[in-house]
Structure 1
Amino acid sequence: MDAEHTAATDGSSKPATGYRLLLPSQWAQVPLRQGTEEAVGSILKDLFSRIPEHLPPDKIGPYKKVISARFRSSVTQAQQKNGLDLYVPVKPVGDQEFNLGASILVAETTLPEREPGATFADPTDLVVQLLSRERVNADLSSGEVDGAVAVRREFVAEADPTHGVDVASRRIEYIASVPGDPARWFVAAFSTVGGGNPRDELAEVLVEWFDAVMATFRWRFE
């Protein structure tokens, strides 16, 4: 799947206007600014069409309600995080069933203004400092995303039942400066619960997979 998103552009500075990201066909895109309900409805319809017909209605009904509520809640949370797109695995791979145990959220953010007298060698230094203050146990590294300065952050988010998070999850975030618009930053955040342990073998494989996916990332200029 060639996923694309187009953002607003300033003709004078000609910043990047969007992005392209290659994902397997098992993953579906949910745009979070426009066309959200249509995408959610299509995904749920496709999912429910694969429910075995021999199952009794009193089992199917509650299952649909739980999955629909869980999925819609995830979409709403993504929108509240200034998300652009949410990607979720919606088709089975081998004997696996549909679940929301992994996701990719693409969002954008702006950096706070520098304090008077503050100096940084490049924008990446500011991001590293901000992220270091926010989460002590995160692994941070700097690099590039399609030629743009970027920071990669990896950490385990503990379960937080008070906010509806029942299990811990492994998080990988790529935070990249948008070309042509240094105040804007692109964020691609991957989350997985692995096989039940955010540091188990499945989680490790999925982290490597997401890093490979980000290698396909390209800015769009129009």
Structure 2
Amino acid sequence: MLDFELIVPEGWVHVPTLPELRRVRARTIEAIVRHALPDTLPRDKAGPWRRMLNRDLTDATDQAERQGARAVVLPVTEMHGMRMPGTLLLSVIEDDGEPQDPRSVLNSILAEAGPDGMALEIDGCPAARVRQVVDSQPIKRKAPAVRVNYYVAAPGAPGVWGVLTFTVLSDGDVEADPVQAIVLLFDAVVTTLRWAPDADLPTEDEILEGMPR
């Protein structure tokens, strides 16, 4: 199976969103909630917050599944005292119909993106990076967010693409130094992408056996 891997910083969590890994997803969300709101907190005060966080994470990952994403990667611990307001969606997609030359597809993407697009290589494969400023209203925020899409051609498999999309929230100024620092960190994570042409993915039961309860 063709897939790719990433190296993520300590304190980041990989939440699978494939339909066949829903039990793993639920267990992972439970662990995130416990980390954010540990059992040492008073149950009567922390209980509503735990339920809200669980619901929000479940809704977000369900939406990622509907969009065809394989996983969501997100930071769950603070870095230098700052909470990281961002998420990264991972997908592998295949072109419909006759596969086109990857560089031709990327040139079309970059032409449409204009100055917000950049050609590059990741894991020795042609890729494109496209930056946008988007509305955060769908997640009930008034401030805009920075969204960056990466399109990475798979080696030896015309028509197969790795698509990575990260979104970084802002307090109103998308050019602020903290926002740009987080964008750069996500960019650095994406550069660690490595294709695994013969990926042998473990079953859900195998993953669950290795997870703490």
Give the corresponding residue for 1:110.
94
The residue type paired with residue 127 of structure 1 is: L
124, 127, 130: which one pairs with 1:147? 124
Unmatched runs of 5 consecutive residues or more in structure 1: 1-7, 9-16, 115-119
C-alpha distance after superposition, 1:137-184 (max 9, x if no partner): 771111211111111111111233xx3442421111110111122111
Q: Structure 1 residue 49: deviation in Å?
A: 5.0
Give the corresponding residue for 1:27.
12
Q: Secondary structure at the match of 2:70?
A: strand
- RMSD (Å) for aligned C-alpha atoms: 2.7
143, 146, 170: which one pairs with 2:146? 170
Q: Structure 1 residue 108: deviation in Å?
A: 2.1
Q: Structure 1 residue 84: deviation in Å?
A: 1.1
Alignment of 1:72-221 (within 5 A): 72-96=58-82, 101-113=85-97, 122-130=101-109, 133=112, 139-160=116-137, 163-166=138-141, 167-194=143-170, 197-221=173-197
Aligned mates of 1:81, 1:213 — CA distance in 2: 22
Aligned mates of 2:172, 2:41 — CA distance in 1: 27
Q: Structure 1 residue 196: deviation in Å?
A: 5.2
Q: Number of residues paired by the alignment?
A: 195
Structure with the largest fraction of helix: 2
TM-score relative to the length of structure 2: 0.77
The residue type paired with residue 120 of structure 2 is: G
CA contact (8 A) 2:144 2:174 kept: yes
The residue type paired with residue 153 of structure 1 is: V
The residue type paired with residue 145 of structure 1 is: I
Unmatched runs of 5 consecutive residues or more in structure 2: 199-213
